């Protein structure tokens, strides 16, 4: 049971827009800690996709965007491409646990 809750899977056709939600609580996202997102392609290490709720590292396409409100956050991917098929994880910090916390991960399938 992950501290942050994500849908197990989402899917979309090429060119479409999909969103992945990440729900936390008052001791993590709701406490004001930032949310970060990672993309993990099959058989590879996770890669930072979004940091500080809505910032993209250099090299990440602007098709990826993040937002945060209250105890939740979302990752949006527009103009879906086959290469976006991967697992996506949200991450924050939890003050009650004094620990970094992750969502359970969401598998994105491009139809």
**By rule CB under 8 A, what count of residues binds other proteins?**
30
CA–CA separation, 77 and 49 (whole Å): 11
**Cα angle, residue 69 at apex, residues 55 and 4 outer, rounded to 5°:** 85
Alpha-carbon torsion 11, 13, 14, 19, what sign? Answer: negative
Only one of the segments 19-27, 61-69, 70-78, 84-92 lies at the binding site for other proteins (rule: CB under 8 A); that segment is 84-92
Residue with tokens 């939890």: 94
88 binds other proteins (CB under 8 A): no
Q: Which backbone phi and psi does 66 adopt, to 5 degrees?
A: -130, 155
CA–CA separation, 51 and 4 (whole Å): 16
Binding to other proteins, residues 25-54 (CB under 8 A)? 31-34, 36, 38, 40, 44-48, 51-52
* Of 80, 67, 1, residue with least CA distance to 37: 67
93 binds other proteins (CB under 8 A): yes
In the complex with other proteins, which residue's Cβ is closer, 31 or 76? 31
In the complex with other proteins, which residue's Cβ is closer, 50 or 80? 50
7 binds other proteins (CB under 8 A): no
* Residues of the shown chain interacting with other proteins in the complex, contacts defined by CB under 8 A: 2, 31-34, 36, 38, 40, 44-48, 51-52, 57, 87, 89, 91, 93, 95, 97-105
């Amino acid at each position: 049971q992950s501290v942050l809750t994500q849908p197990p899977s989402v899917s979309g056709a090429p060119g479409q827009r999909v969103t992945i939600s990440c729900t936390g609580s008052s001791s993590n996202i709701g406490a004001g800690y930032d949310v970060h997102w990672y993309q993990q392609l099959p058989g590879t290490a996770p890669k930072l996709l979004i940091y500080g709720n809505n910032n993209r590292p250099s090299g990440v396409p602007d098709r990826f965007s993040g937002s945060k409100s209250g105890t939740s956050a979302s990752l949006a991917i527009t103009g879906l491409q086959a290469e976006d098929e991967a697992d996506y994880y949200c991450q924050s910090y939890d003050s009650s646990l004094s620990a970094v916390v992750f969502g359970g991960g969401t598998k994105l399938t491009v139809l």
